[in-house]
Amino acid sequence: MNVMASLLPPTATSTLQHNQLAICFSPSRPTTTSNNASFLTNHRLKINSVKCNAFFDQGLLESSVVSLDQFPGLMQFLRVTESLTDMQRWGYVMFGGLTWIYLTARPGVLVGAIDAYLLAPLQLGFDNLSGRRNLKRSDFVIGDKLGEGSFGVVYSGVLVPKNVNVDVEEWVQKRGRGKATQLDVKSKDKVILKKVKVGIRGAEEFGDFEEWFNYRLSRAAPETCAEFLGSFVADKTNSQFTKGGKWLVWKFEGDRTLADYMKDRNFPLNLESVMFGRVLQGVGSSKRNALIIKQIMRQIITSLRKIHNTGIVHRDVKPANLVVTKQGQIKLIDFGAATDLRIGKNYVPNRTLLDPDYCPPELYVLPEETPSPPPEPIAAFLSPILWQLNSPDLFDMYSAGIVLLQIAIPTLRSPAALKNFNLEIKNCGYELKKWRDNTRIKPDFQILDSENGRGWDLATKLVSERGSLRRGRLSAAAALRHPYFLLGGDQAAAVLSKISRSGK
């Protein structure tokens, strides 16, 4: 028996026609009724008659009548399920639930599809309209060379202000010097440019991948990496440009990488005011060191969790690829070696592009016998299985563990000491505890041993061989749940600093 119908005045129910629902708005929640009592009970529509009485005047009810024909999807669903048994209905619910779990499991088939088929074209259209994709050689003045990899050369540079209407070279000469870094430029105009090498095998492909990863991350996890401004192809050849050569451009995020800060004897205290906006008062220096180290690791692992959630493994996590911004944020750069294992982008079986000092013992992000990826939609559909079976994200987590050891143990910071560590840990079968008992370098474990050795415990769970089923090392999400990060003194100081910065 339809409870609601029994409460309705006869004139009210008689106005309802077949397939109509009357929606009665109670102050707390909406309720529904129909002119067909069995229809409602059959379909388990919830009825709340308790608070409706006061609203059952003829006028209100009539204005609330909604035809089910307006919801063809719902009608269809009701029609289809009407003839099903309870068992069959449960079957459908289970199937729907499992499909949902599969499509949303890491690395996110559903979100990935939305990104590829909706967000990426939207971003392209928006960038074209706003002129962001129309960068050209003459928009930039190239400055000092900052680094050179196998496939690219990195320069600092300046985005020439829009109101400068003269030829760029002339503009630079007028200012007196030929180097962008020596110009009086606003920091928002500072950029980083990567020239993709011309005529080097694989360089062009590398540049395309790096561009793709930067666009993808600018949509999926923009806070984790340097802001990508776009790319251009040089239209003429001169001292710096080669016609046809591709350039990638980022916002200049900061003067120094974590590796640069680590070279300083004062590390990690040289990062204290950058990260916390001030010197931490009333805290001893060893506690301050420990808080800074924890904040660095929290930021790195949080970024890794975000990129891993999108299916991307960076594959080159190291202090030189972590830029520290003026606001104390640590951003990942250099996605040239990254791979997107949701669709198999930049994944070539048996290819390893790594820095041996930070590379895990397994060397490859997936087992060597993993075949080349199938076409993207199929790869994407299968990707949750691949991630469950292989946990490729743990590749980056080993590198993060090495970074933790290096920043926490002063005698491991130099490249030579790190090489020596790598030899020793290999001889110890990648068991960090065994290494600690046997190493000849007399490390200082003070920072890792503070807070009941939580930092040390975390390090042993990152710097390790993979166990059975290719697990046995903490994922980024699991690492952030480790007791080391639970006491958030570093986080409190960082949040306070953010608040005071935004108040200025």
Which residues participate in catalysis according to the annotation?
316
Give the strand pairing for 190-196 and 140-148. unpaired
Q: Restricting to residues 247-276, name those near ligand ATP by CB under 6 A.
A: 250, 252-254, 257
In this structure, are residues 495 and 327 in contact, taking their beta carbons and an 8 Å threshold?
Answer: no
Q: Restricting to residues 219-238, name those near ligand ATP by CB under 6 A.
A: 226
Q: Say how many residues make up the chain.
A: 504
Q: Rule CB under 6 A: choose which of 107, 108, 112, 152 binds ligand ATP.
A: 152
In this structure, are residues 8 and 22 in contact, taking their beta carbons and an 8 Å threshold?
Answer: yes
In this structure, are residues 346 and 335 in contact, taking their beta carbons and an 8 Å threshold?
Answer: no
| Cα(312)–Cα(304) distance, integer angstroms | 9
In this structure, are residues 350 and 373 in contact, taking their beta carbons and an 8 Å threshold?
Answer: no
- Should residue 211 be labelled a site residue for ligand ATP when binding is judged by CB under 6 A? no
Strands (E), 41-96: 65-67
- Should residue 359 be labelled a site residue for ligand ATP when binding is judged by CB under 6 A? no
Q: Rule CB under 6 A: choose which of 4, 5, 21, 154 binds ligand ATP.
A: 154
Binding mask 304-333 toward ligand ATP (x if CB under 6 A, else -) reads: ----------------xx-x---------x
Q: Rule CB under 6 A: choose which of 111, 146, 233, 428 binds ligand ATP.
A: 146
* Two structure tokens written together for 430: 């990648």
DSSP secondary structure letter of residue 8: S
- Should residue 334 be labelled a site residue for ligand ATP when binding is judged by CB under 6 A? yes
Which helix (H) or strand (E) covers residue 170, if one does?
A: helix 168-174
Size of the site for ligand ATP (CB under 6 A): 19
Residue type, 451: E
* Two structure tokens written together for 238: 């001169």
| In the complex, least distance from residue 504 CB atom to ligand ATP, rounded to whole angstroms | 23
Q: Rule CB under 6 A: choose which of 192, 221, 275, 479 binds ligand ATP.
A: 192
Q: Smaller CB distance to ligand ATP: residue 26 or 181?
A: 181
| In the complex, least distance from residue 260 CB atom to ligand ATP, rounded to whole angstroms | 7
Q: Which stretch binds ligand ATP (CB under 6 A): 98-106, 149-157, 413-421, 468-476?
A: 149-157
Q: Smaller CB distance to ligand ATP: residue 313 or 323?
A: 323
| Cα(386)–Cα(379) distance, integer angstroms | 9
Identify which of 264, 319, 314 has the alpha carbon closest to the alpha carbon of residue 296: 319
Residues that bind ligand ATP (CB under 6 A): 146-149, 152, 154, 192, 226, 250, 252-254, 257, 320-321, 323, 333-334, 336
